[in-house]
């Protein structure tokens, strides 16, 4: 993969001169003599810079050149044997693809660091399993539990300067994150390895685009001010939603003063997301397909890139294994500002968290309807857990709606219970899905009702849900059947926002 205008050693030299902190030499297809010769030449570059050289797999080569350490995989020499051979002072790393392997590495008492992955698909090596950030977080939970072992960790697989800050953000749990990343082609295949290394270093220390740096705790919001702020900015709500609710979702969006667009043309997503105008994306998994999944992923990439809000509605995630797997793919691929669903859907998403322990529990959904039975304490625990895991805001819908703030681990106890609505809301197709349209409108407009330079996405979501519930309550008072309720509901949304 080394470009024609450079050499293998030149690429390494440019990397260590521009920010690389450790080098691992991995050779699978050359003779032992050539491996030793190459390792000596690499050491001539790394030693003057005081940068450790780790030899992959081959303890004999590491000893022959007096390298700084060895890295072994799960199919290589056991870590305990490698430690005996290299002695107590050399660095020893182990590849770990799941929590069980990470536990074994920690409990061996001989490992200095673990390489966690494979994070994303990569052409550098044959990949059996891609774990994504969800899998990495499960191993981080193990490392946190074994903190007395002081085992460091790096994520590996498909990492580059376009996603490194996202990797650092997503591969973290309270009290534990990854210590760095391991890359190959990102630098070794770069036409300018020096610039590529500098870009990666910069990206690793950069904030993710969607992160609001101001953290507000307990600030009160004025609900009507939030509605007026949303109306004033007239945000665009980009829907990639299910075929059943498109018309109703568009009408709900218009009723609250926002502008809907229903687009599954991936080629125009960049133009929407990069616009300076207020815009947000709703990804609704109601009628999924393989083709639509690619559309979802492109939308998530573009809106994350420009720091614009994305709402995920994992419709019927608990109904089938295929839908839960689709949710896993999306949650691994990027960050969602809000995850909204009924208790059955959110309890399915909880199966993807680092704290989940598999059980023989019953299904939580029948089609798109929740059949899960949770008391309030269980709902609150569920919401906090999922919000904290995905560093997002979680909305659990039902007779009462609950909004949980996991955007900052400093405010993970923030939640709001919102009553109101009407039983007819469960008798009309689309009322659950269209709540996502209203929430996304408030997020895109940054309509939190606080009236200051500080912004709270949590408060914006709460204001949106309160509006929706209040409109449902008023519509229920004025009607006695689902058909007339639908019309009245749209009218009440419009009146609340436009007339106050």
How big, in percent rounded to 5, are the helix, strand and coil portions of the chain?
A: 50, 15, 35
Catalogue the active-site residues.
433
Beta bridge partners of 418: 401
Contact criterion met (CB below 8 Å) for 38 and 12? no
Distance CA 496, CA 76 (A): 66
The residue assigned the tokens 């449902």 is 472
Q: How far are the Cα atoms of 140, 288, 316, 344 from residue 327, in angstroms, in the given order? A: 21, 11, 10, 14
- With left for phi above 0 and alpha for psi between -120 and 50, is residue 251 left, alpha or beta? alpha
Q: Hey, is 71 helix, strand or coil?
A: strand
Distance CA 237, CA 239 (A): 6
| Degrees to nearest 5, angle at CA 230 with 224 and 233 | 140
The reply to whether omega before 118 is within 30° of 0 (cis) is: yes
Of 172, 151, 148, the closest CA to residue 93 belongs to 151
Distance CA 395, CA 302 (A): 23
Of 138, 181, 140, the closest CA to residue 159 belongs to 181
**Strand (E) or helix (H) holding 311:** strand 310-313
CA 221 to chain centre: 28
Residues 6+ apart with CB under 8 A from 226: 442, 447, 448, 449, 459, 460, 463, 464
Q: Which of the 8 DSSP states describes residue 129?
A: -
Residue burial 437-458, b: 16+ Cβ < 10 Å; e: rest: bbbbbbbbbbbbbbeeeebbbb
DSSP assignment of 219-284: ----HHHHHHHHHHH--EEEEE--TTTHHHHHHHHHHTT-EEEE---GGGHHHHHT-SS-EEEEEE
């Amino acid at each position: 993969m080394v470009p024609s205008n450079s050499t293998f050693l030149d690429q390494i030299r440019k990397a260590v001169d521009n920010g690389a902190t450790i080098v691992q030499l991995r050779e699978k297809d050359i003779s032992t003599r050539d491996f030793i010769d190459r390792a000596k030449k690499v050491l001539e570059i790394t030693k003057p810079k005081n940068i450790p050289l780790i030899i992959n797999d081959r303890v004999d080569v590491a000893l022959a050149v007096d390298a700084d350490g060895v890295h072994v995989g799960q199919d290589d020499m056991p870590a305990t044997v490698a430690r005996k051979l290299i002695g107590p002072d050399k660095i020893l790393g182990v590849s770990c693809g799941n929590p069980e392997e990470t536990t074994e590495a920690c409990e061996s008492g001989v490992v200095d660091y673990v390489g966690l992955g494979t994070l994303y698909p990569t052409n550098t090596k044959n990949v059996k399993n891609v774990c994504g950030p969800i899998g990495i977080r499960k191993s981080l939970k193990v490392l946190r539990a074994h903190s007395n072992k002081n085992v460091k960790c790096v994520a590996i697989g498909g990492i580059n300067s376009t996603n490194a800050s996202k990797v650092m953000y997503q591969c973290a749990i309270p009290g534990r994150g990854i210590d760095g990343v391991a890359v190959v082609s990102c630098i070794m295949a770069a036409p300018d390895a020096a610039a590529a290394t500098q870009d990666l270093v910069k990206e690793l220390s950069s904030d993710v685009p969607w992160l609001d740096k101001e953290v507000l705790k307990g600030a009160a919001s004025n609900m009507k001010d939030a509605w007026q702020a949303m109306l004033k900015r007239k945000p665009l709500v980009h829907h990639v939603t299910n075929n059943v609710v498109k018309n109703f979702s568009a009408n709900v969006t218009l009723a609250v003063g926002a502008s809907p667009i229903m687009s599954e043309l991936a080629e125009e997503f960049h133009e929407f997301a990069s616009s300076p105008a207020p815009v947000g994306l709703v990804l609704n998994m109601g009628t999924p397909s393989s083709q639509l999944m690619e559309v979802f992923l492109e939308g998530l990439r573009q809106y994350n890139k420009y720091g614009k809000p994305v709402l995920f509605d994992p419709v019927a995630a608990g109904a089938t294994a295929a839908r839960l797997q689709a949710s896993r793919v999306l949650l691994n691929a990027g960050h969602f500002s809000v995850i909204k669903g009924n208790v059955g859907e959110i309890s399915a998403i909880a199966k993807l968290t680092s704290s989940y322990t598999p059980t023989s529990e019953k299904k939580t959904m029948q089609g798109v309807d929740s059949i899960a039975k949770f008391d309030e304490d269980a709902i609150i625990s569920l919401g906090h857990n999922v919000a904290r895991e995905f560093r997002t805001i979680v909305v659990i819908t039902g007779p009462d709606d609950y909004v949980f703030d996991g955007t900052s681990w400093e405010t993970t106890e923030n939640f709001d219970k919102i009553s109101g609505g009407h039983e007819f809301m469960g008798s009309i197709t689309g009322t659950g899905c269209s709540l996502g349209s209203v929430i996304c409108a408030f997020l895109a407009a940054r309509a939190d009702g606080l009236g200051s330079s500080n912004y709270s996405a949590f408060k914006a979501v709460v204001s949106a849900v309160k509006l929706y519930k209040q409109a449902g309550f008023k519509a229920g008072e004025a009607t006695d059947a689902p058909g007339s309720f639908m019309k009245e509901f749209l009218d009440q949304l419009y009146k609340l926002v436009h007339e106050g």
